[in-house]
Chains A and B, each alone.
Chain A
Amino acid sequence: MKRRSVIGLEIHLQLKTKTKLFCSCSSDYIGATPNTNICPVCLAVPGTLPILNDHAVELGVKIGLGLHCSISDNTRFHRKHYFYADLPKAYQITQYEHPIAVGGYVDIFADGKEKRVRVHHLHLEEDAGKLVHPTSDGRLTGASYSLVDYNRGGMPLSEIVSEPDMNSAEEAIAYITQIRQLARYLEVSDGEMESGSLRVDVNVSLSNPDGSLGTRVEIKNVNSLRSIERALEYEIARQNKVLDEGGHLVQETRLWDDVAGVTRSMRSKEGERDYRYYVEMDLAPISAGPEYVQKIRESLPEMPWEKRERFISEYSLSLEESLQLTEQKEAADYFEACVSEGAPAAKCANWMRMEVQRILRDLGIGINEFPVPASELGKLIIKVEKRELSNTQAKDVLAVMVEKKASLKEAVGLCGISDGRITGHALEEVIRKIFASEPEAVETIKSGNDKKGAKVKFLQGLVMRETRGSADPAEVASLVNSMLG
């Protein structure tokens, strides 16, 4: 009997604000000395009060609109209570009953199909500090004391909660990728799992034969797309096995162990905490009224899916080409800047997807760090179009442009290939260089001993070889003769 897996995700995005959610501490905490990026407010010093960061609300509304959510014009914060060393107030300020954005969706591409995944809501909340448990062997357990770093405490997060609309690990990954892309397009978050600016909690169950939802298990500690995929595959197999063997599943939270490749029970529903949620009275209600929302809506950039469609219609690209080019906004912008130089779109797309991609991969850099300006790549592609450069030559030139951070013109020169024809002064330079390297031949000619003109021909040949045939033989002959005379 094949059961259908049902997956819902909670994605935490760290919002790209300058300051924390409720105080004026810098949000630039990564790499800072522990407990230097703190203030009385985020340390919960008695008497202090939270002050809401308007920019975080704006970013929350932005991504809410991107997710096609409706924005609530009367939203409040709640307090979520628990005692732990990473939480100075002993409550986290979060949104509970009245989140800022509700009821949206995203369309994803997975298993070769487009699919709509509904978004239940998006809410804003503050992050907690970070605990470090120093053990001699680096393990999490067995430390005799713990250290706490409050630098991250109070950082703004938006949590996006999906409906349980995904049915495979591939769909889950596609959903996360789509949200990450949206967050980056809207510049609301870096969306990096490595640095923790994007974090995911996974909920998975198997549907019963009658179609009703089965017992739900939450998986935590999945810190990369790969571990999410593996954890889902493991957990789906585990749940199937338990049910196949006639066992029962319990509603619980399980931790993914990336090394062992298994999930382990952390706490069951009975052990579920009562967070004693209630309204945060230190903050007035937020009113994100229609005018405010409209203003933000108007400021939104082109969405990734809009760009994808436009690239297909405007540049006659295939869906696959368009998907790849629009994956990152910066790459899409680069592509369009190339095209605007006058280079054919199909060719630009090809160069971007093949050569540029390869270089980026080899160097391990992103398109932002690619040293060749889009206009230069555009010109290079035009040269190929005009047959001034062969494809092979053009790749050499691009390689030099990257390696030496050279302009197109310099790179062409450095490659020693003719940029059109070498004439006049440039040609004289080459000839002078050849003369200098063949002093004996020059001497022979100048002393009148080149009876048959063999040495002159020899020198002309060297010049032609040096210029790779891009100089006019007649001009070479005349210049060589005049410079010898």
Chain B
Amino acid sequence: MEFHKLSALEIAEGVKKGSWTASEVLSAHLDRIKKFDGQINSVVTLSEESAYSDARETDNAVSEGRDPGPLAGVPFLVKDNFCTDGIRTTCCSKMLSDWIPDYDATAVKRMKDAGAVLMGKTNMDEFAMGSTTESSIFGPTLNPRDFNRVPGGSSGGSAAAVAAGFCPIALGSDTGGSVRQPSAFCGVQGMKPSYGQISRYGIVAYASSLDQVGPITRNIADMAAVLGVLAGPDPNDTTCDAYERPSFSETASAGIKGKKIAVLTGYDAESMDSPLIEAIEKAVEYCRSAGAEIVEAKLPITMKHAVACYYMVALGDASSKLACFDGMRYGHHSDGRSLVEMYKRSRNQGFGKEVRKRILIGTCILTRGYYENYYVPATKVRQMIADEYAELFKGVDSLICPISPALPYKKGLVEEDPVRMYLGDAFSSIANLAGLPSISLNIGFTEEGLPTNVQLMGPRFGDAGLLALAHAIENKAGSPPIADIEKKGGCRE
């Protein structure tokens, strides 16, 4: 049995039926990680002991006739900025390289409570700041579809692991595209739910008003099942909404007949990689054939200002949320002759270059004078963007647009052309600014085997409708296969 080829729901069904055990499934996945992760470096910490103990618990539940949960025995990985009880949580930074939390993030806890088995932690850009997963202290992750390319970021480890068949589900965090862009680059499905859909408790923050937990899977049915497990209010996060969630798994297969779907126009399609434009055309065609009505939509304010606005809001917040890392209570500490010297040394040594840069820019943005000229206008523009989308969704059910303007970057671009990397967030950061649900959906591969994709967006808390749309398109486009990393053995440069 090739367990790694099964979907999460297939694994859970087999575990519940007794066709196989959670321990067997776990063992197969751990073997695969140990055998092949050397090639792509997607996993930074494995927690085999606790994983086997969790798997045995699920198996016991099954043999004793108890309900093992909807994700019984499904092995999963989480990005290394999710707090995990007793498992090192580093944010792939020297700052937290030896930090072991004593609690599980709410998202991790909910997965475990649903019977899923946590195997370990995945690689990421340091403190989730980046789009290439190259700034990790554990070294870069490579794209399992093409080892010469980056997996995207910042949740590159999670996306690469799902693509490589190391787990059917991985969790990432998405502040401006950090789940969806790597999902697009690695050829898997990634979702950023509405802001307030999933608790942020236990996620080491990047930006409070943008961060959201997002699942990465190889198909939308698994995605809906995971969202069903993760979504819901949490007494530890009051920004997580209390509204009553529908059954995402049920509504995901509702179809899109009669739905009105807008396609974004009015952006510079010329500057985009052409297979991505073709992917949009394909997706539109799939929607039409599934009975949806297609209209065009222009979002001038968003298209003009989103990236600038995003970086103002995100970096301002990052400078604030990362201020707690002073080396006193946890994290990297360096001695000094005074308190200020201790702070300076600890932070300078603990944070990498990109993180220091973003903290500096963010601090500048919030400083008197700049605050009025940059941060305040950015918050106003942010509201205008949200309003532009609210207006759009009065008339249509969903929007189709690009997620990334480019196919997976070659390695090292971040050093060469950082601005191009920042501009790559133009489409993905909108959903975070406006608090909207967004899915990065795979639409097949280019001739060279690079994944192509589209972004689907819907109104706030319209996550269920969005999953239905993704499901309808996936029915036509097919769900992406596991990356062929066995054959690429030895390809790594």
Q: Which A residues have a C-beta under 8 Å from some C-beta of B?
A: 40, 43-49, 51-52, 79, 81, 83-85, 88-91, 146, 274, 276, 278-284
Cross-chain contact B201 with A90 (CB below 8 angstroms): no
Q: Could you give, for residues 354-384 of chain B, a 1 whenever the CB lies within 8 Å of some chain A CB and a 0 otherwise?
A: 0000000001001110010001000100000
Residues of B within 8 A of A282 (CB): 205, 208, 239
Contact flags B425-436 to A (C-beta < 8 A → 1, else 0):
000000000000
Cβ-closest chain A residue relative to B325: A46
Question: Which listed residue (A46, A278, A283) contacts B320, Cβ 8 A?
Answer: A278
Nearest CB in chain A to that of B239: its residue: A284
Known: A49-B201, A85-B339, A282-B208. A91 touches B238 (CB 8 A): no
Q: How far is the CB of B285 from chain A (nearest CB, A)?
A: 40
Complex contacts, B207 vs chain A, CB 8 Å: 281
Chain A neighbourhood of B235, CB < 8 A: 51
Asked whether A48 lies within 8 Å of B201 as measured between CB atoms, the reply is: yes
B209 touches A90 (CB 8 A): no
Docked-complex contact B105 and A46, CB < 8 angstroms: no
Q: Is the CB of B205 within 8 A of A45?
A: no
Cβ distance B375 to chain A, nearest Cβ, rounded Å: 6
Using CB atoms and an 8 Å cutoff, list the residues of chain B in contact with chain A.
82-83, 89, 91, 96, 99, 101, 103, 105, 200-205, 207-209, 235-239, 316-317, 319-320, 323-326, 328-330, 339-340, 343, 363, 366-368, 371, 375, 379
Smallest Cβ distance from B141 to chain A, in angstroms?
A: 22
**List of 9 A-B pairs having minimum Cβ-Cβ separation, nearest first:** A90-B323, A281-B209, A281-B208, A276-B366, A47-B202, A46-B204, A47-B83, A44-B324, A282-B208
Q: Is the CB–CB distance between A281 and B239 below 8 Å?
A: yes
Which of B203, B238, B371 contacts A284 (CB under 8 A)?
B238
B83 contacts across to A, CB distance below 8 A: 46-47
**How distant is B430 from chain A, measured CB to nearest CB, in Å?**
18
Instruction: For the complex, give the distance between the alpha carbons of A282 and B237 in Å.
Output: 8
| Complex interface: chain B residues within 8 A of A48 (CB) | 201-202, 236
Chain A residues closer than 8 Å to B99, beta-carbon distance = 46
Known: A278-B320, A281-B317, A282-B239. A88 touches B202 (CB 8 A): no
B324-A89 in contact (CB<8A):
yes
Compute how far the CA of A279 lies from the CA of B340 in the bound complex, rounded to whole angstroms. 26
CA–CA, A84 and B343, complex, Å: 9
Bound together, the chains give a CA A427 to CA B154 distance in angstroms of 97
Contact residue among B96, B236, B363 (Cβ-Cβ distance under 8 Å from A49): B236
- Cβ B324 vs Cβ A46 within 8 A: yes
CB distance from B404 to the nearest CB of A (A): 26
**Which residues in B have their C-beta under 8 angstroms from that of A83?**
323, 326, 340, 343
CB-CB nearest in chain A for B340: A83
Closest to B322 in A: A90
Distance between Cα atoms of A49 and B238 in the complex (Å):
8
Please, how many angstroms separate the alpha-carbon atoms of A43 and B330 in the complex?
Answer: 10
CA–CA, A79 to B317, complex, Å? 10
Flag if B320 contacts A81 (CB, 8 Å): yes
Q: Which residues of A contact B82 (CB under 8 A)?
A: 47
- In the complex, A40→B83 CA distance in Å? 12
8 examples of A-B residue contacts, CB within 8 angstroms: A40-B103, A46-B99, A83-B323, A85-B339, A90-B323, A278-B375, A281-B317, A283-B238
Contact of B326 among A90, A146, A278 (CB under 8 A): A90
Cβ of A85: which chain B residues have Cβ within 8 Å of it? 328, 339
Main secondary structure of the interface of A (DSSP, over half): loop
Instruction: Quote the shortest CB–CB distance from B95 to chain A (angstroms).
Output: 10
Point out the residues of chain B lying under 8 angstroms from A274, CB to CB. 367-368
Known: A46-B96, A83-B326; 16 extra A-B contacts, CB below 8 A, are A44-B324, A46-B83, A46-B91, A46-B101, A47-B205, A48-B201, A49-B237, A51-B236, A81-B323, A83-B340, A146-B339, A274-B368, A276-B320, A278-B320, A280-B208, A281-B208
A91-B200 Cα distance, complex, nearest whole Å: 20
Chain B contacts for A49, CB-based, 8 A: 200-201, 236-239
How far apart are A310's CB and chain B's nearest CB, in angstroms? Answer: 42
A282 to B201, CA, bound (A): 10
User: Which residue of chain B has the shortest Cβ distance to A274 in the bound complex?
Assistant: B368
A33 to B345, CA, bound (A): 31
Contact B366 A47 (CB under 8 A): no
Q: How far is the CA of A79 from the CA of B205 in the complex (A)?
A: 15
- Determine if A47 and B340 form an interchain contact, defined as CB atoms under 8 angstroms apart: no
In whole angstroms, how far apart are the Cα atoms of A453 and B12 in the complex?
114
Distance, CA A46 to CA B329, complexed state (A): 11
Report A-chain residues with C-beta under 8 Å of the C-beta of B343.
83
The residues of B that contact A146 with a CB separation of less than 8 Å are 339
Residue in B closest to A48 when the chains form the complex, CB atoms: B201
The interface residues of chain A lying within 8 Å CB-to-CB of B330 are 45-46
Instruction: State how many angstroms separate the Cβ of A407 from the closest Cβ of chain B.
Output: 51
Q: Whole-angstrom distance between the alpha carbons of A283 and B209 in the complex?
A: 10
Chain B residues, CB < 8 A from A43: 329
Among B105, B207, B324, the one with the most A-chain Cβ atoms within 10 Å of its Cβ is: B324
- Whether A51 touches B238, Cβ cut-off 8 Å, given contacts A43-B329, A88-B329, A91-B320, is yes
**Docked pose: A90 CA to B347 CA in angstroms:** 13
Pair B329/A47 contact, Cβ less than 8 Å: no
| Assembly CA distance A88 to B343 (angstroms) | 12
Chain B residues within 8 Å of A88, by CB: 324, 329
Contacts of B320 in A (CB 8 A): 79, 81, 91, 276, 278
Please tell me which one of the listed residues B204, B237, B325, B371 contacts residue A278 in the complex, with CB atoms under 8 A apart: B371
Question: Which of chain A's residues have a CB closer than 8 A to the CB of B375?
Answer: 278
* Bound: A85/B99 CA distance, A: 20
Complex Cα–Cα for A278 and B91 (A): 25
Instruction: Determine the chain A residues whose CB is within 8 A of the CB of B329 once the complex forms.
Output: 43-45, 88
When the two chains form their complex, are residues B339 and A91 in contact, meaning their CB atoms are under 8 A apart? no
Closest residue of B by beta carbon distance from A90: B323
Q: How distant is the Cα of A46 from the Cα of B366 in the complex, in angstroms?
A: 22
A83 nearest in chain B by CB position: B343
CB-CB < 8 A to B340: which residues of A?
83
Q: Which residues of B contact A89 (CB under 8 A)?
A: 323-324
Among A83, A89, A276, chain B packs the most CB atoms within 10 A around the CB of A276
Q: How far apart sit A45 and B201, CA to CA, in the bound complex (Å)?
A: 11
CB distance from A81 to the nearest CB of B (A): 6
* Distance from A484 Cβ to chain B, minimum over Cβ atoms (Å): 84
Give the distance to chain B from A220, nearest Cβ to Cβ, in Å: 20
Roughly how many angstroms separate A274 CA and B366 CA in the complex, as a whole number?
9
How far is A282 from B89 in the complex, measured between Cα atoms in Å? 21
How long is the Cα–Cα vector from A285 to B418 in the complex, in angstroms?
Answer: 36
Q: Which of B96, B202, B323 has the most CB of A within 10 A?
A: B323
* Residues from chain B with Cβ under 8 Å of A278 in the complex: 316, 320, 366, 371, 375
Query: Which residue in chain A gives the minimum CB-CB distance to B342?
Result: A85
CA distance A276 to B317 in the complex (A): 11
Of chain A, the residue at the smallest CB distance from B196 is A284
Contact, CB under 8 Å: B203 / A47: yes
In the complex, what distance in Å separates the CA atom of A294 from the CA atom of B84? 45
Closest CB of chain B to A305's CB: distance in Å? 37
Report the minimum CB–CB distance from A165 to chain B (whole Å): 29
Return chain A residues, CB-CB under 8 Å to B200: 49
Within 8 Å CB of A40, what residues of B? 103
Chain B CB within 10 A, most for which of A43, A49, A79, A91: A49
In the complex, how many angstroms separate the beta carbon of B316 from the nearest chain A beta carbon?
7
A45 in contact with B101 (CB, 8 Å):
yes
Q: Residue on B with the closest CB to A131? A: B339
A45 CA to B366 CA, complexed, in Å: 23
Q: How far is the CA of A279 from the CA of B89 in the complex (A)?
A: 28
Closest to B375 in A: A278
Q: Is the CB of B203 within 8 A of A283?
A: no
Taking CB atoms, residues of chain B closer than 8 Å to A52 are 238
Q: How far is the CA of A40 from the CA of B203 in the complex (A)?
A: 13
Whether B204 and A47, one on each chain, are in contact in the complex, defined by CB atoms closer than 8 angstroms, is yes
The residue in B236, B317, B379 that gathers the most chain A C-beta atoms within 10 A of its C-beta is B236
In the bound assembly, the distance between CA atoms of A271 and B205 in angstroms comes to 31
Q: Please indicate the chain A residues that have their CB under 8 angstroms from the CB of B201 in the complex.
A: 47-49
How far is B340's CA from A71's CA once the two chains are assembled, in angstroms?
40
List the A side residues contacting B205 at CB < 8 Å.
46-47, 282
Kindly list chain A residues whose C-beta atoms are within 8 Å of the C-beta of B208.
Answer: 280-282
Tell me the nearest residue of chain A to B234, going by C-beta. Answer: A49
